[in-house]
Structures are given as C-alpha cells and as structure tokens.
C-alpha cells in the first residue's frame, strides 16, 4: 500500500467499454472546486477504445491521473486494484457512467473535518436519463439523514456507490472488495456499516447517476438464472454476518424483511432446481429469524411441500403464489421503488 497523503482525495474509477462516458466522469472530477485530488482509472479488460482514452487522459493530466489495466474480473476486484493504488486520505468510488457535482469534495471534506467521529459523508443523489434533464427529488434514501448504515442497509441499499466520500481509514478497516459479480457494492457498504461507521449528511446535491442504454449489470437481468441465484445466496450470507456484527436484532423490522427475502430466495432456488442452495437458504432464513415465530410462518409448509412434491415443483408453486398474493407485513418497499412512483 502506498503512503497516505494528507488532505488528498483519491477517486477510483473502474471502467469497461465506456470510452465517452469515462471522459465525462473524469471531467466531473477535474472540475471539483477542491484540491488536492488524484484519479485512479482501472480498466477491467475493455475490448474497445477505452484504454486508449484512459491513456490520453493520463498523458493530458499526468500530475492527477494514473491508469492501470487488468484482465476482466468484475467490479469488485477492479475497485480493489484502484484502492491499493490510491494515496488519498479520502476515497471516492465513481462508476464510469456517473458524475460528481463540482462542490462534492469541498463540502464533504469540510463535513468530515467538522465531524471527526464520522467515517463517511454523503449527499443528495440526482438520477436522470442520459442527456436529459435531472429530477429534483433526491434518489433512494440520499435525502434522508441517517447516522449509520445499519439497520437500513440490511433491507435496502439506500445510496449508490458514488454517493459517499470515505475516510481512507474506514476503507482500509473494511478490507478488500469481494469478487461478487453482482451487488458487491451492497456487501461492501454493509461491511463498512458493521464497523459502526458514523455518517454525516451533507444536504446538497453531490452526484448524478445516469440511466442509459450502454449497459448496466442490472439491465435486462434474469434474476432467476442459477448463477445469479448462487451469487445472491452468497450475498445474503455475507449481509447477515455483517448485520449480526452490527447488532441488528432478529425482531427488528429490517431484519424481518431480510429474513423473508432469504426465504423468497430459497423458493427461487428450488424453482431453478438448485437443491443444495435451497437447503442452505432455508438454514440461513432460520438463523436470521431467530425466535420470531411469526416470521417463520410458512417455512414448515414449504418444507412439507418440498418433501411431498419435490424441490422444483414446490419452488414453482411458491413463485406462482408470489404473483397472486400481496406482499406480507414484513416485506418493505425499497427506496428506489418508491422513487419510481408517480
């Protein structure tokens, strides 16, 4: 790890096949009113002109920009490669298709200076279609003031990767990013939350998430594909570990929601014919539920159906019931879904 440079803000930009958006993301960092800054671009095995653009940007701003290329391995290892190169006292993660507002670093560094007990600062997220006017409502939970990530992060990833500015010490304490292909940022946030990291809310617009047609990991996703279900099972295991470390009680509303989510994933695994993953999710649901008998209601019925009808048929029946039955009282609506309402 390089020696940390006080006051420096390091922006880590993972990128894959987004040359023009990379230019725009980098420009949003260069336009920050705060100095000193550095930008670490990490290319995740792009197959187009993205590496050429990154090299061009580095040559144009050699005092600020560094560039690293690696084989494709996903967002987590790519961000981790950037973290290991970063030299700043503060760490900003920025996806290559998003932008920072010009005063983000100025406002958030000052907020962290004013609140030395806080490990991260966050502000309002603006979301809008690419090259269209932004909305005036803070996205997800970024408009709400919260002192910690838990318990909310257990049931809802209520901010985006580009929203917080972290103290470097927090990122180092959290440790390496995982190799999860999906939701690795959710797991990372939960790990930071498990440290008891305190937050300071900067009530200003700080970042733009742009929706576009160049491809996000969540676009046209088949969430019932076996690979995604296995990855989700691993995510759920890690989230529960972090929630337990953070002391989220089994009977809290957010953990109750989480338990139902695990149980729903068990039924989805069953419908996909994933026998081992179904059993593992059921054990995880029991562990998450603790002594909450009302949350466990339905577990035994599913087990009986599985023995009588077989795993796949019981799972398919469970998926069908989800389409005709309203969500139970323990199921919460995530903040991004609320933002889609008229």
Q: Is residue 46 part of a domain?
A: yes
d(CA 119, CA 171): 9
The DSSP code for 315 is H
Q: Please indicate, yes or no, whether residues 187 and 321 belong to a single structural domain of this protein.
A: no
Q: How many domains does the chain have?
A: 2
Shared domain check, 128 and 69:
yes
Residue-level pLDDT, tens digit, the chain, 342 residues: 789 999 999 999 999 999 999 999 999 999 999 999 999 999 999 999 999 999 999 999 999 999 999 999 999 999 999 999 999 999 999 999 999 999 999 999 999 999 999 999 999 999 876 555 566 789 999 999 999 999 999 999 999 999 999 999 999 999 999 999 999 999 999 999 999 999 999 999 999 998 755 555 544 567 789 999 999 999 999 999 999 999 999 999 999 999 999 999 999 999 999 999 999 999 999 999 999 999 998 899 999 999 999 999 999 998 887 777 666 666 666 665 555 454
Calpha distance 321→254 (Å, rounded)? 23
Q: Same domain, yes or no, for 64 and 204?
A: yes
Residue 184 to residues 170, 195, 340, Cα–Cα distance (Å): 17, 17, 24
Best CA proximity match to 108, nearest among 55, 158, 163 = 163
Looking up residue 131, the CATH number of its domain turns out to be 3.90.550.10
Residue 1 lies in a domain: no
- Tell whether 200 and 278 lie within a shared domain: no
Out of 179, 211, 243, pick the residue that ends a domain: 211
Structure tokens belonging to residue 141: 């939970």
Q: What is the greatest pairwise CA distance in the chain?
A: 67
Distance CA 104, CA 93 (A): 13
Q: Burial-class residue 69 by CB neighbours within 10 Å (0-12, 13-18, 19+).
A: middle
Q: What is the reported pTM?
A: 0.91
71 with 94, same domain? yes
Q: In this structure, are 125 and 53 located in the same domain?
A: yes
β pairing state of 120-129 and 165-167 = antiparallel
Helices (H), the chain: 19-30, 50-60, 75-85, 104-114, 152-155, 168-174, 184-194, 226-246, 253-271, 275-289, 293-296, 299-309, 311-324, 335-339
Q: Are residues 165 and 54 in the same domain?
A: yes
Cβ atoms of residues 68 and 54 within 8 Å: no
Could you tell me the residue range of the domain that residue 186 belongs to?
A: 7-211
Q: Is the same domain home to 88 and 128?
A: yes
Has residue 25 been placed in a domain?
yes
């Amino acid at each position: 790890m390089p020696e940390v440079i006080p006051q420096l803000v390091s922006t880590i930009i993972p990128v894959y096949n987004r040359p023009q958006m990379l230019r725009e993301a980098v420009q949003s960092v260069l336009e920050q009113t705060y100095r000193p800054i550095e930008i670490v671009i990490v290319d995740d095995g792009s197959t187009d002109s993205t590496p050429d653009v990154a090299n061009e940007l580095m040559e144009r701003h050699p005092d600020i920009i560094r560039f690293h290329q690696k084989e494709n391995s996903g967002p987590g290892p790519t961000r981790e490669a950037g973290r290991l190169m970063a030299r700043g006292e503060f760490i900003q993660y920025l996806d290559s298709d998003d932008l920072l507002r010009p005063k983000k670093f100025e406002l958030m560094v000052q907020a962290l200076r004013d609140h030395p007990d806080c490990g991260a600062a966050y502000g309002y997220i603006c979301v809008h279609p690419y090259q269209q006017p932004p909305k005036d409502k803070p996205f997800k939970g970024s408009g709400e003031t919260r002192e910690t990530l838990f318990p909310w992060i257990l049931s809802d990833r209520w901010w985006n990767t580009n929203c917080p500015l972290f103290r470097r010490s927090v990122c180092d304490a959290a440790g390496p990013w995982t190799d999860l292909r999906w939701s690795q940022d959710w797991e990372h946030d939960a790990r930071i939350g498990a440290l008891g990291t305190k937050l300071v809310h900067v009530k200003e617009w700080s970042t733009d998430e742009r929706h576009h047609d160049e491809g996000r990991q969540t676009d046209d996703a088949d969430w019932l594909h076996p690979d995604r279900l296995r990855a989700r099972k691993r995510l759920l295991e890690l989230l529960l570990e972090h929630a337990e470390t953070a002391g989220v009680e089994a009977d809290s509303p957010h953990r109750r929601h989480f338990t139902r989510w695990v149980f729903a994933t068990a039924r989805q695994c069953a419908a996909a014919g994933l026998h081992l993953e179904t059993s593992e999710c059921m054990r995880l649901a029991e562990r998450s539920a603790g002594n909450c008998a009302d949350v466990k209601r339905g577990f035994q019925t599913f087990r009986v159906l599985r023995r009588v009808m077989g795993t796949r048929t019981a799972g398919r029946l469970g998926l069908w019931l989800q389409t005709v039955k309203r969500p139970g009282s323990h199921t919460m609506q995530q903040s991004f879904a609320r933002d889609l309402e008229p």
